[in-house]
Amino acid sequence: MAKQRFDALKVVELRQPINVNPPSEKVSDYFGVNTFGLHVMKEQLSTDIYTRLQNAIHKGEQIDENVADAVATSLKAWAISKGVTHYTHWFQPLTGSTAEKHDAFFEMTNDGTAIERFKGSALVRQEPDASSFPSGGLRQTFEARGYTAWDPTSPAFIIESGKGKTLCIPTVFVSYTGESLDNKAPLLKALEQIDKTATAVCQIFDRSIEKVQATLGTEQEFFLIDKALADARPDILLTGKTLFGRTPPKGQQLDDHYFGAIPSRVSRFLQALEIESYKLGIPIKTRHNEVAPSQFEVAPIFEEVNVANDHNQLLMDLMRKVASRHNFRVLFHEKPFEGLNGSGKHNNWSLLTDKGKNLLQPSTKAKENLIFITFFINILKAVYDNADLLRASIASASNDYRLGANEAPPPIISAFIGTQLFNVLTELENNGDIKVKKGDNIYMKLGINKIPPILLDNTDRNRTSPFAFTGNKFEFRAVGSNANNARAMTVLNVAVANQLELFKREVDKLIEQDEKKEVAIIDILRSYIPSVKKVVFEGNGYGEEWVQEAKRRGLSNFRDTPRALQVLKKAATSRLFKRMKIMTQAELFARHEIRLENYTRKMQIESRVMADLALNHICPTAIRYQNMLIENVKGMKDIGLEEETEEVMNLIKKVSKHLNQVKKLSNEMTQERKRINSIDSPEEKAIAYCDEIKEKYFEELRWHVDKLETMIDDEMWPLPKYRELLFLR
Ligand code: ADP
Ligand code: MG
């Protein structure tokens, strides 16, 4: 029945903006009030404890019981002073979102009274009932259960909900035998490796550098849909995307007035989101540069990768909650609407030294540019050597719809660097073996004295690249809107760390053979350029020519998740992850399995919802409409207008044709699903879902349903239409 659609439209008609009251005029008055950040710790902890905690955070030193107890005591006092009653370990299981287990601060004493208690041990470690989180058979193999352990590098924070206030403690989730069961643990290990290796390379140039931090700024794209309309679409509710829906005619897109100025309901939502984020210390700036109608973006000021990623995960939770308060649903699906732009999560990434220098910032000083070019080329080499792993890191059922579709990076991993830097590579390559004599300007001789400090030609073309250099950072643009950045960031940092280690070893060897340091560096960098040039692509990444060109270059093009994930099984991957101390082969295999199962489950749900909508919503509507037309023809004949019925008769035939196809395809697909569900191997099953369900049925089924949408009386159509969903007021 179309009743739900029209009821929802009536609700939307009457919506009013929800008022937002900032706690204060000045953001600095309330920024971070709900976080136990460094400023609070410094105030609350003794100097000794504070120093030891600092050492744990910045130097990775162990936290002993005394420190944990002292932090727990002041954390509890701070939280209770803010009206908090419960605490929870907050973690990022492999399901993709975040999880919590709430405990009250109260404990019973021997005489039966309750006191507020929170010991260091409760801060440091907790045992969630983990049996429901995916472990890819890991827990069965190694141990029965896992535990969460405090990550002191990410500040604890307070979440306010209807039920009250909860203190959330960021943690990793690991099994008793040490296998990681979450997204954060491998990321922390990868960040340790990038620190170690990048610092070692920095020390070739500057002995005073003791630490390098990877930084991340996540541009988060999303769609905002009215809650009533979204809830009237079972596909949006159950899969996060529209499985059917006629795309607005090409070229015209939607009428201009649909996406002019930001409607006041949306700006109130964005304002409320900013306030909530600031309270949690998330430094976001909302942006309104919607590309598609109803699409928006928020971008924070960059932070250390682990903190930035926790903030992104937290931000997504916050967005869902604030959206609901403002009668919206936020869609993080990478491709919620056919024919419109998808949503990504652009990972802006760079390396920052403890002296405050961005290693990817070109400089006017030749000497500093040698550092820049060293990191720049090593990163590109790492991208070339690990392109398949990077591709796997962004693979998901939902991102498959986006990569390679309109206005989205292709699934081929390449890097955009701009003409000027490309020329620098060429010059370096052509310089051959240079003999440097005493007194020579070595940088000039090596051709690295003239990298322009500001790279102006990062034109719009870099938008089509999955991995673009944008002046002082790389931007991994192919990461999906729904993803946890940790996966992409783990692979990128591991790949670069591994490459930096190799580089250092090669340079050291040349220096031992009495080569001058600068010449050794340039020689090794030069040897990378042929590889680097294979992965660098400056043209239009959206075009079909690139697909052909990439093939000639021998670059991979994995168009679906099950195939993209195959690299996780390779021996070279296990070796890399083992050498970098990130994961064992068993952990890698477990993750592979979990991600395949996740893919299969997503496809299964989409297929079920599709068949259900088709058979139980679309077909009955089509039949009713058909009957109406038949009545019309009969009536015309009754009054002697037989000859006038031709057009209506044609319409009846067309509706029948599509109706029959919808029924046939839905039933066939359901049968196929039954067969595939009995396949044992997770990989075979995922591939079957990809090839024999998704590829074979989804598009065709949708085509017939969307055709029916163009024919059937608008008043009968049961699902809110694209222009209604995307029409925000
Ligand atoms: P653009 O508009 O070209 O994408 P912006 O300067 O607006 O560039 O930055 C986009 C994102 O990149 C922001 O989240 C910003 O904080 C982040 N960013 C900027 N510099 C760095 C850096 N050195 N490391 C990581 N992220 C960065
Ligand atoms: Mg950007």
Q: Cα 246 to the chain's mean position, in Å?
A: 27
Q: So what's the pLDDT on residue 142?
A: 45
- Mean pLDDT, range 644-666, rounded to an integer: 96
* Range of lowest pLDDT (84-88, 482-486, 571-575): 84-88
- Same domain? For 207 and 112 the reply is no
pTM of the model: 0.94
* Range of lowest pLDDT (93-97, 277-281, 422-426): 93-97
- Same domain? For 384 and 517 the reply is yes
Q: Which residue's C-alpha comes closest to atom 8 of ligand 1?
A: 470
Q: How far is CA 149 from CA 85, 144, 186, in A?
A: 21, 17, 14
pLDDT of 186 > 90? The answer is yes
Q: So what's the pLDDT on residue 259?
A: 47
- Same domain? For 312 and 263 the reply is yes
Q: How far is it, in rounded angstroms, from Cα 230 to Cα 236?
A: 6
Tokens of 70: 């002292």
Q: Which residue's C-alpha comes closest to atom 14 of ligand 1?
A: 217
Query: Per-residue confidence at 459, pLDDT binned at 50, 70, 90?
Result: very low
- Same domain? For 230 and 162 the reply is no
Nearest ligand (C-alpha, residue 283): 1
**Closest by alpha carbon to 308, among 290, 286, 282?**
282
Q: Which of 124, 145, 174 is the last residue of a domain?
A: 174
Q: Which atom of ligand 1 is nearest to the CA of 216?
A: 25
Nearest ligand (C-alpha, residue 352): 1
Q: How far is it, in rounded angstroms, from Cα 74 to Cα 310?
A: 22
Q: Is 364 helix (H, G, I), strand (E, B) or coil?
A: coil
The reply to whether 333 falls in a domain is yes
pLDDT of 661 > 90? The answer is yes
What residues form DSSP beta bridges with 536?
415
Unique residue bearing structure tokens 């053979």: 513
pLDDT of 381 > 90? The answer is yes
Query: Per-residue confidence at 115, pLDDT binned at 50, 70, 90?
Result: low
Which letter does DSSP use for residue 294 in this model?
T
Nearest ligand (C-alpha, residue 215): 1
The reply to whether 697 falls in a domain is no
- Same domain? For 223 and 109 the reply is no
Query: Per-residue confidence at 391, pLDDT binned at 50, 70, 90?
Result: very high
Q: What is the Å distance from ligand 2's center to 198 Cα? A: 25
Tell which wins on pLDDT, 289 or 592: 592
The reply to whether 629 falls in a domain is no
Pocket of ligand 1 from Cβ distances under 6 Å: 215-217, 219, 299-302, 348-350, 358, 470, 472-473
Other C-beta atoms closer than 10 Å to the C-beta of 285 total: 11
Mind listing the pLDDT tens digit for each residue in 492-519? 999 999 999 999 999 999 999 999 999 8
Mind listing the pLDDT tens digit for each residue in 407-440? 788 899 999 998 888 988 998 888 766 666 666 6
The reply to whether 261 falls in a domain is yes
pLDDT of 144 > 50? The answer is no
Instruction: List helix spans (H) across 15-95.
Output: 38-44, 47-59, 65-81
pLDDT of 255 > 70? The answer is no
The CA radius of gyration of the chain, in Å to the nearest whole number, is 29
Report the percentage of the chain scoring pLDDT > 70: 89
- Same domain? For 356 and 439 the reply is yes
- Same domain? For 139 and 198 the reply is no
Q: So what's the pLDDT on residue 180?
A: 87
- Same domain? For 168 and 199 the reply is no
Q: What is the Å distance from ligand 2's center to 475 Cα? A: 7
Q: What is the Å distance from ligand 1's center to 301 Cα? A: 7
Q: Which residue's C-alpha comes closest to atom 3 of ligand 1?
A: 470
CATH of the domain at 557: 3.30.590.10
Tokens of 295: 């699409």
Q: What is the Å distance from ligand 2's center to 332 Cα? A: 18
Q: How far is it, in rounded angstroms, from Cα 655 to Cα 710?
A: 10
Nearest ligand (C-alpha, residue 344): 2
Query: Per-residue confidence at 455, pLDDT binned at 50, 70, 90?
Result: low
pLDDT of 252 > 90? The answer is no
The reply to whether 636 falls in a domain is no
Q: Which of 597, 630, 646 is the last residue of a domain?
A: 597
- Same domain? For 105 and 169 the reply is yes
Q: Which of 565, 597, 629 is the last residue of a domain?
A: 597
Q: So what's the pLDDT on residue 221?
A: 95
Owning domain of residue 363: 192-597
Q: Which atom of ligand 1 is nearest to the CA of 352?
A: 23
Q: What is the Å distance from ligand 2's center to 299 Cα? A: 9
- Same domain? For 109 and 196 the reply is no
The reply to whether 612 falls in a domain is no
Unique residue bearing structure tokens 């009428």: 255
Q: What is the Å distance from ligand 1's center to 525 Cα? A: 27
Q: How far is it, in rounded angstroms, from Cα 695 to Cα 84?
A: 50
Choice from 218, 302, 352, 375 to test ligand 1 binding pocket (greatest atom count within 8 A of CB): 302
Tokens of 69: 């107890």
The dihedral over CA atoms of 410, 412, 413, 417, expressed in degrees to the nearest 10, equals -60
Other C-beta atoms closer than 10 Å to the C-beta of 706 total: 16
Q: Which residue's C-alpha comes closest to atom 17 of ligand 1?
A: 217
Nearest ligand (C-alpha, residue 346): 2
Q: Which residue's C-alpha comes closest to atom 22 of ligand 1?
A: 350
Report the percentage of the chain scoring pLDDT > 90: 66
Query: Per-residue confidence at 342, pLDDT binned at 50, 70, 90?
Result: very high
Tokens of 23: 């706690």
Q: What is the Å distance from ligand 2's center to 695 Cα? A: 32
Q: What is the Å distance from ligand 1's center to 470 Cα? A: 9
Decide if the complex's ipTM is over 0.90: yes
pLDDT of 715 > 70? The answer is yes
Q: Are strands 467-469 and 415-416 parallel, antiparallel or unpaired?
A: parallel
Q: So what's the pLDDT on residue 61?
A: 76
Question: What is the tally of structural domains in the chain?
Answer: 2
Q: How far is CA 151 from CA 101, 134, 317, 401, in A?
A: 16, 21, 20, 35
Tokens of 216: 């991340």
Q: How far is it, in rounded angstroms, from Cα 228 to Cα 245?
A: 17
- Same domain? For 226 and 92 the reply is no
Q: What is the Å distance from ligand 2's center to 487 Cα? A: 20
**Closest by alpha carbon to 246, among 571, 705, 716?**
705
669 HSE (CA, 13 A, CB side): 31
Q: Which residues, 6 or more positions from 615, have their beta carbon under 8 angstroms from its beta carbon?
A: 662, 663, 666, 667
Q: Which residues, 6 or more positions from 473, have their beta carbon under 8 angstroms from its beta carbon?
A: 215, 217, 302, 348, 349, 350, 358, 360
Tell which wins on pLDDT, 564 or 150: 564
Q: How far is CA 264 from CA 3, 15, 115, 271, 328, in A?
A: 28, 11, 47, 10, 13
Q: So what's the pLDDT on residue 257?
A: 39
Nearest ligand (C-alpha, residue 213): 1
The reply to whether 17 falls in a domain is no
Choice from 287, 473, 485 to test ligand 1 binding pocket (greatest atom count within 8 A of CB): 473
**Closest by alpha carbon to 72, among 158, 18, 150, 148?**
150
Q: What is the Å distance from ligand 2's center to 346 Cα? A: 7
Q: So what's the pLDDT on residue 251?
A: 39
Instruction: List helix spans (H) across 247-349.
Output: 264-279, 305-325
CATH of the domain at 136: 3.10.20.70
The reply to whether 308 falls in a domain is yes
- Same domain? For 242 and 160 the reply is no
Q: Which residues, 6 or more positions from 62, have their beta carbon under 8 angstroms from its beta carbon?
A: 56
Q: What is the Å distance from ligand 2's center to 10 Cα? A: 38
Q: Cα 44 to the chain's mean position, in Å?
A: 36
Q: Which atom of ligand 1 is nearest to the CA of 472?
A: 23
